[in-house]
Structure 1
Amino acid sequence: MKTLRNYFILTFILISACTIEDSPPLLSIEEEVTGQGDPESLMVLGEKKGNPFTIENVKSALNLLEKKYQKENRRINCSNCSSYLTPTHRYVKFRPQNYDQLAALDLTNYDLWDYPLDVDVQFVGDYYHDPGVGQDGITPFYTLVPYQYPITINVPYDLISEIYLYNEDDGDIQDADPWDPTYPSCIDPTDIKADCPEARKTMINNTTEASKNLDKMGIDRFDLYNLMMELSGNKDEIINPTEQKARISSTNTVAGTIKVKDNSINVDIPLQRVLVKTRRWFKLRRALTNFNGQYSISVNYRKKAIVSVHFTDGSTKLRGINNVWKFWQFAIPIKKTLGEFSTSQLQNVSYTFPYNSNANTNAATQWVAGNTWNTVIDSRNGKLGISGWGTSSLNIWVSSRITQSASAPMLRSVFNTSLLSSAIDFYLLGSTGPIAVAAKKILQNLSPDITLRYSNSANLIMNAAQIKESIYHEMAHAEHYSLVGNNYWIDYISYIVANGGYGNKNSSGSGRIAVAEAWGAYIGGLYGSLHYRSFTGNSNAQLIANRLLDNLELQKPSDASISSYWIPRGLYYDLTDTGEPTSTGVIDNVNLYTPAMIFQSLNGGVLSVGQFKTDLLKRNNNLQITQVNQLIQSYGY
């Protein structure tokens, strides 16, 4: 029977955005469409450059420099100095042959780039697709792996070269190594997660050690750098003494502010805790934006460097499916390449993700990702004393088409791999064709925890307020799952499958639906209202905040013309507010409870509204017991 129950579960992943049907529409704000559809935004590469950082080239340059020093009677602390050099990193090209390998590569948390690191970029786009793999082939990925770490992943790869990286500027000696396999989520040197200080302490910083070793030998790193560039045919990279002096005394940074447009209120919102990556040659740096959307990376770049934004914080990743991307792009976190910038420009590389109403564009997916990401981060900040999803990782998928509206299936934790196929089939709405086939293969490896379809059949996309309410709602379910565990969640979804939806109030097991869906609606409306209420002086924001609370406050539990009338979406709000409109028929004299009190009474032992009431009163010493009984009775329980 358990196997049969799981099969039913896996044919359904939460119906239609977990949205209670009689929710009033959010305020609709007109905004000019930004673009009518963009191209694939693919990078165009130029000629391959001679790589100055190969161990062979560095040794040749060091041999010449040693002879030069001997002629100048300059004392150095080594003889045959190049023999003391060993590679610091491997420059690797991974060639995933199928979607299973592509997903496995993504899960390594290597610092992956979808274009070679030793080739000129003629046009800076969001993605690169290697023409050698064909139109629908999976493009290779490039990365650096510290020399002492073995490559154990079962994905074909080519060792392009063994390289020697050091910091050519004295001021750069403290730069961090860009890769740490032991603590892959600690991608920001200012990260406050408990394990990150230990990660910094134990990190094998090959680049810094190489720099120190050259100093001990008495080798001028600046002189060696110029010889490396000359020998490899990169004379335009040679640094003159005047420039070098200015570089060492400078405090160069790559910095800026990343935002996303909220088209519901016409305000640019800081994009929080999202990854910003920079690169020139093999000098790779990255950091997370702060809660003001600002980032700052201490690094000197010789010439232009590329800057990009990636929707991940090292653990949670936001991926997407749309009509424009290549299939392999579904598997990697959504990203936006901001461009290639000169050294003076790098000190202020800022960007705002613009609204775009055409779902069939990269820009629309990126804009949706920005609003989704901010809502996820905001949900995890312990609002109102609720112990949220915290630092746990999430796989979040947004889609312009072919998927269910929204859900929190928590597939990675709940479902058996052998039965995952049925779950994905339902998630993909039974779609067929190449896009559905590719999406299914990728989703089977990178199972979604939260999903959002952001467009309808006419390719009209949700506005920012709708995205926020939906994601707050689904994060509330994820939060609830973290409290109740797998068995509760399996039974919750199993009920929905057996009843073809929420069923009715008299269905066996409907109590679980009543308490769980009411929680999603409550947090979706409450958190959304709190967010928009904070924009004082913005009339549109205040209207949206009021509308979100009205959706909770104005429920009429007796209106049986609405199929989900029996789900008490306004109950939890009524436990915390004061008063009630007479039109609803609800008697609300309760006002001393908090969201945290309510959340604790949604534990795994609570399977009905009646059990919720009993648990709530017991935990809080029968606080306002008469008024609570009266309130819940007026909701029909």
Structure 2
Amino acid sequence: MLNSKRHWTLITLMFLVLSCNKDVESLQTDSSQATVALGEKIILGEQLENPYSVKNMRLALQALKKASKKYASKTFKGDLNIQTTDYYVKFWIENKEQKNLLIADSLNLSVIPLDVEIEQEGDYMVDENTELKQSQWLYTSVEKEYQFHQGIKYEILEDLFLIEPSEAEEIEGDEQENENTTTTLAGKSGIPKNFLYDLEDQALKLTGNYTPPENNKLAARRSKRKPKGYIKVLNTVTGNLDPVVGVKIKTRRWFKWAKGWTNSRGYY
């Protein structure tokens, strides 16, 4: 497997360029630096083993309890029963009306599978302005309770156990999160987020997809899950890299999406 796996992918949704002499130069994420051009053809690599499958999450929980004494017994209110929270699915879309039905359901749609390595970044996100040239598969994840539309063909690719909702949240996140922060998941309340991060990391390790954070503090582990960087363009008049202000961006890490805007420095 190649070492250039990119688990965070950034997609530009709205690109406001004030000068016609500007070309997209580069963007810096928390894990790698890449040169991206609008309209660039995406190049895919190998299919990755899915760490968020129910099967792999159950294996991760078993391994975590064996490796850590603090998780050998109960670590929250009630035992965590790893069951399906979401489905990884693909929809066969035949026309614009079907595509818009899924977008109206607030689904994040992709023309490429969500469990493959991306060797070269490119355009693959689908929104209301995307023109589909022909019938094709679109990939996403949906909550277990999602009501599928009659007349739209779909296939469930895998049962998922996600430790947080997959819908696009604001990138800023919860800055008040600390070592005692808990959440509710799969009907169980009082689950420590730190435990869920350990569980996720264990699943990533078991499937060969783990990238360690700079340190093991909660803030560093949270930042690994939230993208950051700059979007700049090459000004062909001055030769400088100028920040792009007011760009609406959307990012994806496996089945988790986030959104935000660049500030006056082009930072997101």
- Report TM bin, short chain: 0.5 to 0.7
Change (3 A) 1:49 1:126: same
Query: 1:390 — aligned with what?
Result: none
Residue 295 to residue 153, structure 1, CA distance change in 2 (3 Å): farther
Query: Once the two structures are superposed, what CA deviation does each residue of 1:166-203 show, in whole Å capped at 9, x if it has no partner?
Result: 26xxxxxxxxx4538xxxxxx7699xxxxxxxxxxxxx
Deviation at 1:65, TM superposition (A): 2.6
**Aligned pairs, number:** 216
Distance 1:99 1:283, change over 3 A: closer
Compute the displacement of 1:105 (Å). Answer: 3.4
Match of 1:243 among 198, 204, 215: 215
Equivalent residue for 2:74? 76
CA contact (8 A) 1:178 1:286 kept: no
Q: Kindly indicate whether structure 1 or structure 2 has the higher relative contact order, using CA contacts under 8 Å at least 6 residues apart.
A: 2
8 Å CA contact retained: 2:66, 2:72: no
Deviations 1:200-239 (A, max 9, x none): xxxxxxx9523995864898334423331233233xx153
Native 8 Å contact 1:50 1:118 kept in 2: yes
Classify 1:69/1:122 alpha carbon distance in 2 versus 1 (closer, same or farther; 3 Å).
Answer: closer
How far apart, CA to CA, are the structure 2 residues paired with 1:224 and 1:162?
Answer: 17
| Structure 1 residue 294 corresponds to structure 2 residue 268 | no
Any gaps of 5 or more consecutive residues in structure 2? 1-18, 25-36, 127-132, 173-181
Q: Which amino acid letter does the alignment assign opposite residue 138 of structure 2?
A: F
- Partner secondary structure for residue 110 of structure 1: coil
Q: Which of 222, 229, 249 is the equivalent residue of 1:276?
A: 249
2:199 corresponds in structure 1 to 224
Provide the rounded CA distance (Å) in 2 between the counterparts of 1:257 and 1:128.
Answer: 18
* Consecutive unaligned residues in structure 1, runs of 5 or more: 1-29, 130-135, 168-176, 181-186, 191-206, 297-346, 350-637
Over 3 Å counting, the alpha-carbon distance change for 1:220 and 1:271 in structure 2 is closer
Partner deviation per Cα, 1:325-350 (whole Å, 9 max, x = no partner) = xxxxxxxxxxxxxxxxxxxxxx946x
Q: Give the alignment's TM-score, normalised by structure 1.
A: 0.28
Give the structure 2 partner of residue 233 of structure 1: 208
Shift of 1:127: 3.4
Change (3 A) 1:214 1:124: farther
CA separation in 1, counterparts of 2:244 and 2:147?
A: 39
Q: What's the CA shift for 1:31? A: 7.0
Give how far 1:47 is off. 0.6
Shift of 1:250: 6.3
Cα offset, 1:67, TM superposition: 4.0
The answer to whether the 8 A contact 1:69-1:75 is kept is no
SS of equivalent residue, structure 2 residue 155: strand
The structure number with the bigger radius of gyration is: 1
1:137 alignment counterpart: 134
Structure 1 residues 123 and 63 mapped into 2: Cα distance closer, same or farther (>3 Å)? Answer: same
Q: Measure, in 2, the Cα distance between the counterparts of 1:73 and 1:157.
A: 38
Larger % of helix: which? 1
Contact 2:90–2:156 under 8 Å retained in 1: yes
- CA-based RMSD of the aligned residues comes to 4.8
Alignment deviations for residues 572-593 of structure 1 (CA, whole Å, 9 cap, x no partner): xxxxxxxxxxxxxxxxxxxxxx
Per-residue displacement from partner, 1:61-111 (whole Å, max 9, x unpaired)? Answer: 2123334456x89542579945x2232222221111344433443444422
Structure 1 residues 163 and 87: alpha-carbon distance in aligned structure 2, compared to 1, 3 A threshold? same
SS at match of 1:105: helix
| Residue equivalent to 1:89 | 86
Contact kept in structure 2, 1:88 and 1:164, CA below 8 Å: yes
CA gap 1:42/1:76 in 2 versus in 1, 3 angstroms: same
Matches of 1:281 and 1:145, distance apart in 2: 13
Q: Which residue of 2 aligns with 1:487?
A: none
Q: CA separation in 1, counterparts of 2:68 and 2:20? A: 67
Task: Tell me if the contact between 1:91 and 1:159 (Cα under 8 Å) persists in the aligned partners.
Answer: yes
Alignment of 1:113-152 (within 5 A): 113-127=110-124, 137-152=134-149
On the 8 A contact 1:105/1:153 being kept in 2, the answer is: no
Write out aligned runs for 1:584-623 (5 A): none
Measured after TM superposition, the shift of residue 258 of structure 1 is: 7.8
The answer to whether the 8 Å contact 1:91/1:143 transfers is yes
Q: TM-score, normalised to structure 2's length? A: 0.59
Q: How do residues 163-202 of structure 1 correspond to structure 2 at under 5 angstroms?
A: 163-166=160-163, 177-179=165-167
- 1:41 maps to what in 2? 40
Q: Contact 1:52–1:231 at 8 Å: present in 2 too?
A: yes
The aligned runs of 1:391-470 (5 Å cut-off) are none
1:60 alignment partner, SS class = helix
SS at match of 2:200: helix
Checking the alignment, whether the CA contact within 8 Å between 1:166 and 1:211 is kept in structure 2 is no
CA distance in 1, matches of 2:122, 2:223: 30
- Which whole-Å deviations, capped at 9, do the CAs of 1:344-399 have from their partners, x for residues lacking one? xxx946xxxxxxxxxxxxxxxxxxxxxxxxxxxxxxxxxxxxxxxxxxxxxxxxxx
Cα drift, residue 44 of structure 1 = 0.9
2:86·2:144 contact (CA, 8 Å) conserved in 1?
yes
Output the CA distance in 2 between the equivalents of 1:238 and 1:212. Answer: 30
Q: Sort the Cα spacing of 1:215 and 1:92 in 2 relative to 1 into closer, same or farther, 3 A.
A: same
Partners of 2:193 and 2:106 in 1: CA distance: 37
Aligned to 2:228: 254
Note the C-alpha offset of 1:128. 8.0
Taking the TM superposition and a 5 Å limit, the aligned residue runs for 1:339-350 are 348=267
Q: Cα gap change, 1:108/1:211 in structure 2, threshold over 3 Å: closer, same or farther?
A: closer
Aligned in 2, Cα 1:116/1:45: closer, same or farther, shift over 3 Å? same
Aligned ranges for residues 248-397 of structure 1 at < 5 Å?
248=221, 254=228, 256=230, 272=246, 275-287=248-260, 289=261, 294=263, 348=267
* Residues 89 and 146 in structure 1, CA contact (< 8 A), matched pair in contact too: yes
Q: Alignment partner of 1:220: what SS?
A: helix
Counterpart in 2 of 1:63? 62
